[in-house]
Amino acid sequence: MGLLSKKDANLILDPLADNNPITIQVLGICSALAITAELKASLVMAISVIFVLGLGNVVISLMRNIIPSKIRIIVQLIVVATLVIIVDLVLKAFAYELSKTLSVFVGLIITNCIIMGRFEAFALGNGPWKSFLDGIGNALGYGVILIIVGFFRELLGSGTLFGIPVLGDPIAKTGLYSIGYENNGFMIMPPMALIVVGIIIWVQRSRNKALIED
């Protein structure tokens, strides 16, 4: 990344792995469990959060010197809620189809703890450009996990990826199903998302012992 200094690049790269918001900070778990039953929803959610967190971090960072500390959490909530509502309205007016796909996520984005977490921990103390990078980085880190979880849940739970059957037809018994393979219905339930996230955490920490807490 020639465009960015090493420090700036780390703002984006760190949250992707060693400081991942989901697997290390254990934030944003609720939405990671709720919407990862299919890959498409994971992707849409990831993009929405990249947008909201990138922009929200900049707005909060610009306001950081005038926000009264007593009501800063409320101010943060209002900023994220306003952003999300405006995006939703614009989509409804100009990209109606897309807005229908997104409708479920709008509420979830507002309550996503990663967003509040980054506002509070980073944007309130750093300039807009750094905050922007931090927002994008954390949202990407969140998105990566969402997509990994969505990939396994949709593949093993429904035998499809992005809604396209990849393992054959479970009812007509073609493809993999002809030799006795069955979809694991449990994969599309929220508890399995937690288990998949747990496995990712396990793999990540066993590869990098420095991440293991006492």
Q: Enumerate binding residues for another protein (CB under 8 A).
A: 34-38, 41, 65-71, 74-75, 78, 82, 85-86, 89-90, 92-94, 96, 103-104, 107, 153-154, 157-158, 163, 171, 185, 188-189
Cα distances (Å, whole numbers) of residue 30 to 24, 143, 170, 191, 193: 15, 14, 30, 11, 10
**Alpha-helix residue ranges (DSSP H) falling in the chain:** 6-13, 29-34, 39-62, 72-94, 96-110, 113-121, 128-158, 190-207
State the amino acid at position 111 in one-letter form: T
**Closer Cβ to another protein, 165 or 205, answer by number:** 165
Sign of CA dihedral 127, 133, 136, 137: negative
Give me the least distance between CB of 100 and another protein, in Å please.
Answer: 8
CB nearer another protein, residue 1 or residue 62: 62
Residue whose CB is less far from another protein, 41 or 140? 41
Least distance (Å) between residue 67 CB and another protein: 7
Question: Nearer to another protein by C-beta: 13 or 52?
Answer: 52
Compute the least distance from the CB of residue 11 to another protein, in Å: 22
* Orientation angle between helical segments 190-207 and 128-158, nearest 10 degrees: 120
Length of the chain: 214
Q: Nearer to another protein by C-beta: 94 or 207?
A: 94
Q: Name the minimum Å distance from CB 124 to another protein.
A: 9
